[in-house]
């Protein structure tokens, strides 16, 4: 069964450093999403992406965040200057159409020291 | 802003029991609602998606209902098994994003 793949599974970084989290969505999907889950808290929406542009973003998704689809298969989340409070599990998701089932990856655990 | 609440926060049942998990949301103008399962330290597995025009969806031992006007959804699990132990998340969709509840942690005791 097709699945969403995220790498790395765990990323450790120093505060102030840039990180790039990578995702390979399901191949024929057109809509891509990033969510995060701080330990013990709700899953929170960050951003949705369609047709090579952001379609919606939350208030969490400020100027330190950016997303990109650099080629036909990858979808990345860049955090420019990490803060301690960015430590969380980051989930990528994709769907065939907006409003359809979203399929989630296993997540990348980001630890900012 | 959409607020999603799940009750109870935790539930422990003996194997074989039928059970109901509850989800409520504040804004009835939703696009769809999705139930997920999350195992510790793992990603989210989609269980059922109900479109706003639907009343229920079924998959195997799972049945999800949606009452948009009252802002409620339930997930019914029949004949629970120890393998059902996980956190169950309800997420309300607005088309481009989902708002998640805090989840119900289910333990099924053999």
Taking each continuous run of H as one helix and of E as one strand, the counts in chain B are 0, 11
Interval A39-83: pLDDT, tens:
989 999 999 999 889 999 999 999 999 999 988 789 999 999 999
Q: B1: pLDDT confidence band, cut at 50, 70 and 90? A: confident
Q: Do A98 and B95 touch (CB under 8 A)?
A: yes
- Cβ separation A103–B51 shorter than 8 A: no
Q: What is the DSSP string of A15-62?
A: TT--EEEEEE--TT--EEEEEEE-TTS-EEEEEEEETTEEEEE-TT--
Q: Give B33's Cβ-side CA count (13 Å radius).
A: 32
Cβ separation A100–B95 shorter than 8 A: no
Q: Are A42 and B101 in contact (CB under 8 A)?
A: yes
The pLDDT, as a whole number, for residue A101 is 85
Among B32, B76, B85, residue whose Cα is nearest residue B54? B32
Q: What is the pLDDT of residue A100?
A: 79
What is chain B's mean pLDDT, rounded?
Answer: 94
Environment class of residue A34 by beta-carbon count within 10 Å: exposed (0-12), middle (13-18) or buried (19+)? buried
Average pLDDT, integer, range B42-50:
90
Give the pLDDT band of residue A96 (cuts 50, 70, 90).
Answer: confident
Task: Give the C-alpha distances (Å, rounded to integers) separating A57 from A11, A90, B18, B41.
Answer: 23, 15, 39, 25
Instruction: Give me the total of CB pairs closer than 8 Å, taking one residue from chain A and one from chain B.
Output: 52
């Amino acid at each position: 069964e097709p699945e969403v793949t995220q790498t790395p599974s765990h990323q450790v970084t120093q505060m102030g450093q840039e990180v790039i989290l990578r995702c390979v969505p399901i191949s024929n999907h057109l809509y891509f999403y990033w969510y995060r889950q701080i330990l013990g808290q709700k899953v929170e929406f960050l951003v949705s992406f369609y047709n090579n542009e952001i379609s919606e973003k939350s208030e969490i998704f400020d100027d330190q965040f950016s997303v990109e689809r650099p080629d036909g298969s990858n979808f990345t989340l860049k955090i420019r200057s990490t803060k301690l409070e960015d430590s969380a599990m980051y989930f990528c998701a994709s769907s065939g159409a907006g409003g359809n089932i979203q399929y989630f990856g296993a997540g990348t655990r980001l630890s900012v020291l | 802003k959409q607020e999603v609440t799940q009750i109870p926060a935790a539930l422990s049942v003996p194997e074989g029991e039928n059970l109901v998990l509850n989800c409520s949301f504040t804004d009835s103008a939703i696009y769809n609602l999705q139930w997920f399962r999350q195992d510790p330290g793992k990603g989210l597995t989609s269980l059922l998606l109900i479109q706003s025009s639907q009343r229920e969806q079924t998959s195997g031992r799972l049945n999800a209902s949606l009452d948009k006007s009252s802002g409620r959804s339930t997930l019914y699990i029949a004949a629970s098994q120890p393998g059902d132990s996980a956190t169950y998340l309800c997420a309300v969709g607005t088309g481009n994003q989902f708002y998640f509840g805090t989840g119900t942690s289910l333990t099924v005791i053999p």
